[in-house]
Amino acid sequence: MGTYSTSDFKKGLKVQIDGDPYLIIECNFVKPGKGNALYKCKLRNLLRNTQLERTYKGGDTLESADVTEIQAQFLYKQGDKFFFMDNISYEQYELTAEQVDDAWKYLKEGMVCSMMLFNDNPISVTPPNHVVLKIEYCEPSVRGNTATGLSKPVKVETGAEMICPAFVEIGEYIKVDTRTAEYIERVKEPV
């Protein structure tokens, strides 16, 4: 396994601290008046999703984390377990509801997602940036409210609830940004 020197530190780097994988989410170089240069880093634990701040002196090293990203297809959900398949090796992975986190709101059978593996074990999944979902339930629209900025809660086919403009109806399809959970637009039925 490789190591990274402080000169290699940058946002997005995946390192290992005390056996856990971390992602550097912020790294600032500080040169005090005298003495060694310092690197103030904010790191996010990829297993527990917690953050920590550490300061490293110039010349310090960190071990690289054995983290890889693959494309995996969502197969199905059973209880609080989610099942995915690697599109290349056809290996199947099982993630808990805690590992999937809020991504469940956008998962549809057959959808290809980005999965992060640590030591060949799945730790998280990220759906595509934009998904098309069918509206299963919402309150009926009131005539004349189409041009105003009114919104209403809707329930989509995955079971998630989100806020959409007041003019959307049951059975319509909407495009949603999975990074912000925001409605983008109405779309025609996907093929």
pLDDT at 12: 87
Reported confidence tier of residue 191, pLDDT bands at 50, 70, 90: low
Three-state SS letters, the chain: CCEEEHHHCCCCCEEEECCEEEEEEEEEEECCCCCCCEEEEEEEECCCCCEEEEEEECCCEEEECCEEEEEEEEEEEECCEEEEEECCCCCEEEEEHHHHHHHHHHCCCCCEEEEEEECCEEEEEECCCEEEEEEEEECCCCCCCCCCCCEEEEEECCCCEEEEECCCCCCCEEEEECCCCEEEEEECCCC
The percentage of residues in the chain with a pLDDT greater than 90, rounded to a whole number, is 55
Topology of the domain covering 130-187: OB fold (Dihydrolipoamide Acetyltransferase, E2P) (2.40.50)
CATH architecture for residues 67-126? Beta Barrel (2.40)
Chain segment 44-89, per-residue pLDDT in tens? 998 888 899 999 988 899 999 988 999 999 999 999 999 999 989 9
pLDDT at 89: 92
pLDDT at 168: 87
Chain segment 101-156, per-residue pLDDT in tens? 889 999 999 999 999 999 889 988 999 999 999 999 988 876 665 556 788 899 99
Q: What predicted TM-score, i.e. pTM, was given to this entire model?
A: 0.77
Chain segment 88-97, per-residue pLDDT in tens? 999 999 999 9
Q: Which CATH number fits domain 3-64: 3.40.50.10860, 2.30.30.30, 3.40.190.10, 3.40.50.300?
A: 2.30.30.30
